[in-house]
Structure 1
Amino acid sequence: MTSRERVLSAIAHKQPDCVPVDMGATPSSGISAIAYSNLLKAMGRTELPVQIYDVVQQLAQPDMSLIDQFGIDVIDIGRSFNTRPEDWHETELANGDKALYPSWFHPVRQPNGAYHCYDIDGERLLAMMPQGATFFDQSYFPYMNGYPQNYDNLDTEMGRVLWSRYVHSPWDHAADSGFWEQLRANALHLRETTDKALLIVCGCNLFEWGTFLRRMDNFLMDLLCDQDNVERVLDELLQRHLATLEKVCNAVGDIVDVIRFGDDLGMTTGPFMDTDTYKQLFKPRHKQLCDYVKSHSQMHTFIHSCGSISSLMPDMIEAGIEIFNPVQTNSLNMEPEFLKKEFGQDCTFWGGGVETVGTLNNGTLEQVKEQVLERLEIMSKGGGFVFNTVHNILPDVPPQNILAMFEAIKTFNS
């Protein structure tokens, strides 16, 4: 099987020739720039650049030579942008290693060693990364003090939120002239030059955008106490998301295999909301997003949602979600055996292959291999599984443990 056939077979719940693998195809299945830099040093590949394509989370874009070496089966079409040396400039990671930022990203270093990101007026603080930290935090919440009377300024305010202002490729080029034509041309080139499955990250967050605009504490209270305003803002967001999906489907819907949405709905102890709230506020809108994709493209629907979401999964599957990531198996009612038994015929699990916090960062080589092999045995039967860590590989993960993980995958797939 080709990589693309392998991924599509798994999504179709057909047993592929071996378990498909992801590292770096999404900003929730990737690798920290520090962990990546350490990995390159351990492998003797320091000639490769550490390109931080997602500046908010400080994630590295894995080099294609490593994608091939590790048997990665899927890539993000965003990697086809920012391919020239002048698209990058040098920076320094929190551990002192050299890395590269996109040419447009210039955070301002403070006297205390922190980095700040300001609006174009130089006054409004949009994001910050404290000294020694390894990702940027949102510091500007447009509607923190209340909902507006109208949403004439919503696009402007969304553009000030760090997840939108400092977005990863290809969306850092979305304002370029001819972007959609270039996106299609790049995707076609990837289809012609690689056998990998192709993925596009497309956001379409609903609950999360509520928290980005109102701040988490406010929006959680709104779900119970101010549902009229919640519905108003969700409808405004949905309108914009559908407009984006129309362009995405027109540009690459016949080329790309998977479209990735995002909406963190869970904590480790359970979902952020009860099932009735999800059914009322979010399920109908998730269904509209999924229905549009299925009616206008060949792409499979993938959602990233952290935490314990098993109680919401039946409704999310009914809404049209086919693939779940990161499969946070250390959360309540998210054990691999339970998930596979309850939902294994109805969806694909993209993640959960090894605990990023606990096993991968602190375990021995033997413990890493043991858990990887155990998860592969449980999750891969009958398809419906793409191997990935539980969320991104964090900065403190030793490179030897990453190599042990891939050795275990190779052993299982042999």
Structure 2
Amino acid sequence: MMTSRERVLSSINHKQPDYVPLDLGGTPSSGISAIAYNNLKKELGITHGHTRIFDVVQQVAQPEMEILDKFGVDVIDIGRVFNEKDKDWYDIELADGSIGQYPVWFRPVKQENGDYLVFDKEGTMIAKMPVGATFFDQTYFPYVEDYPDDWSDLDHQMGKVLWSALVHSPWDHAGDKDFYKTLRERTLALRSQTDRALMITCGCNLFEWGTFLRRMDNFLMDTYADPENVEALVEQLMIRHMETLKNVCESVGDIVDILRFGDDLGMDTGMFMSREKYQTLFKPYHTQLNEYVHKHSNMKTFLHSCGSIYPIMGDLIDAGYDVINPVQTTAYQMDPATLKREFGKDITFWGGGCNTRSVLNRSTPDVVYDYTRRMIDIFAPDGGFVFNQEHNIMPDVPAENLLAMYRAVADSRI
């Protein structure tokens, strides 16, 4: 019987673990929305505890230890070592009328029509969640008109983007005195308390930061019409990302097991750019990020990239990624059997376990169970698989379907 950490690392190393490793909430893109989490607890008859929304942009809950234990979850996000006290949270009403909690630093302003707006310290509206919605949208794009003449204000402008201004833990404490020292101390304590694999999310997005700053439509055109400015921006981002990686590797690189990067490169119908553009504009920098982590830490590298990324799977492997997530099998060319056959010996699939677009949310529990067992049969042989649904569990997922998915995982472990 392996420990959870051994199970996860064995699978990432493409060795058959004792049974399929499971993730729920190890990253902000492999978790569960607050509404779905409340519904799950209600279905389980759990009336105690709290629904704490650690990623306020996506409205994603931090699963409680009781839930992780119940389903046999094998990985845990070290962000939970911050905001541990009741005083760090306050109650709010979710879109369905149920109760969740926000961290005390997050104070969106409710409008008369029910919308929620977020303003930064300078009074700029940076995010909006329309009435009835379950996600905050970005409303401020610093470089929407054009690139700056110089990059002296880049840090300031990045701080006005919702993904930075409203960042999840542990990074909501990054400005604290002795942050990295505290991060190490608390992560060491967490590691002594659990045998689960430890995950840290670092982002270090490149393509996505271009879309956050310039807006999606502009930046997509820039990759073809203005590649010089794209490269100049990416090089500036790399300066900042490498400093972050240096600090992370020095503080927790020997005690954390997996580091999560993010860069959504695909859509439902294909990639955001040609393979050649990816190879020219982004792959060299992705390679540099991976090389640094592998050289200066014990951590495996994990890339969250949604959509159809089949054309560059070989490039991502060549760039040094150990893990790919969320394995969006509903996208073009993302057939699970093909992915496993062609790339399963070289990269670990962290996801793909259940289609969240039309199966987990719209099918019957029996269909969910059978679908999940089929995906496990495809992805699990010879390791290289950690079970997770495709991206986060959304508010429209019935609790009975969630239980069917986790029952399928449990039965596969017998």
TM-score range, shorter chain: over 0.9
**Secondary structure of 1:101 counterpart:** strand
Identity over aligned residues, as a percent?
58
Q: Which residue of 2 aligns with 1:204?
A: 204
CA distance in 2 between counterparts of 1:32 and 1:248 reads 27
Q: Which residue of 1 aligns with 2:311?
A: 311
Q: Which residue of 2 aligns with 1:299?
A: 299
Q: Which residue of 1 aligns with 2:215?
A: 215
Residues 72-106 of structure 1: CA deviation (Å, up to 9, x unaligned): 00000001110001100111100001110001000
**Secondary structure of 1:266 counterpart:** coil
**Secondary structure of 2:126 counterpart:** strand
1:56 aligns with 2:28: no
Q: Which residue of 2 aligns with 1:15?
A: 16
Equivalent residue pairs, number: 413
Q: Which residue of 1 aligns with 2:245?
A: 245
Amino acid in structure 1 at the alignment position of 2:114: G
CA distance in 1 between counterparts of 2:281 and 2:229 reads 11
Q: CA deviation at 1:44?
A: 1.0
Q: CA deviation at 1:240?
A: 0.3
CA distance in 2 between counterparts of 1:242 and 1:314 reads 24
CA distance in 1 between counterparts of 2:141 and 2:317 reads 31
**Secondary structure of 2:359 counterpart:** helix
Contact 1:10–1:348 (CA<8 Å) still a contact in 2? yes
CA distance in 2 between counterparts of 1:155 and 1:399 reads 42
1:183 aligns with 2:183: yes
Q: CA deviation at 1:252?
A: 0.2
Amino acid in structure 2 at the alignment position of 1:203: G
Amino acid in structure 1 at the alignment position of 2:115: A
Contact 1:302–1:325 (CA<8 Å) still a contact in 2? yes
CA distance in 2 between counterparts of 1:20 and 1:187 reads 21
Amino acid in structure 2 at the alignment position of 1:47: H
- The 5 Å alignment of 1:9-408 reads 9-122=10-123, 124-408=124-408
- The 5 Å alignment of 1:1-12 reads 1-12=2-13
Q: CA RMSD in A?
A: 0.5
Residues 319-338 of structure 1: CA deviation (Å, up to 9, x unaligned): 11110000000011111100
What TM-score does the superposition give when structure 1 sets the normalisation length?
0.99
CA distance in 1 between counterparts of 2:259 and 2:51 reads 26
Q: CA deviation at 1:313?
A: 1.0
Q: CA deviation at 1:46?
A: 1.8
**Secondary structure of 2:273 counterpart:** coil
CA distance in 1 between counterparts of 2:307 and 2:122 reads 37
Residues 346-382 of structure 1: CA deviation (Å, up to 9, x unaligned): 1000000000111100110100000010000000000
Amino acid in structure 1 at the alignment position of 2:298: Q
CA distance in 1 between counterparts of 2:101 and 2:47 reads 13
Contact 1:93–1:99 (CA<8 Å) still a contact in 2? yes
Contact 1:40–1:48 (CA<8 Å) still a contact in 2? no
CA distance in 2 between counterparts of 1:320 and 1:377 reads 26
Q: CA deviation at 1:41?
A: 0.8
Contact 1:336–1:378 (CA<8 Å) still a contact in 2? yes
Residues 32-53 of structure 1: CA deviation (Å, up to 9, x unaligned): 0000011111111121200000
CA distance in 2 between counterparts of 1:311 and 1:186 reads 40
Stretches of structure 2 that go unaligned for 5 or more consecutive residues are none
Q: CA deviation at 1:154?
A: 0.4
Amino acid in structure 1 at the alignment position of 2:78: I
Q: CA deviation at 1:121?
A: 2.6
Residues 237-291 of structure 1: CA deviation (Å, up to 9, x unaligned): 0110000000000000000000000000000111101111011000000011001
**Secondary structure of 1:250 counterpart:** helix
CA distance in 2 between counterparts of 1:325 and 1:154 reads 29
Contact 1:350–1:388 (CA<8 Å) still a contact in 2? yes
Stretches of structure 1 that go unaligned for 5 or more consecutive residues are none
Contact 1:54–1:60 (CA<8 Å) still a contact in 2? yes
**Secondary structure of 2:316 counterpart:** helix
CA distance in 1 between counterparts of 2:158 and 2:355 reads 33
CA distance in 2 between counterparts of 1:363 and 1:118 reads 39
CA distance in 1 between counterparts of 2:387 and 2:189 reads 26
Superposition misfits of 4+ residues, deviation over 3 angstroms: none
Amino acid in structure 2 at the alignment position of 1:65: E
What TM-score does the superposition give when structure 2 sets the normalisation length?
0.99
Contact 1:242–1:289 (CA<8 Å) still a contact in 2? yes
Residues 205-240 of structure 1: CA deviation (Å, up to 9, x unaligned): 000000000000000000000000000000000110
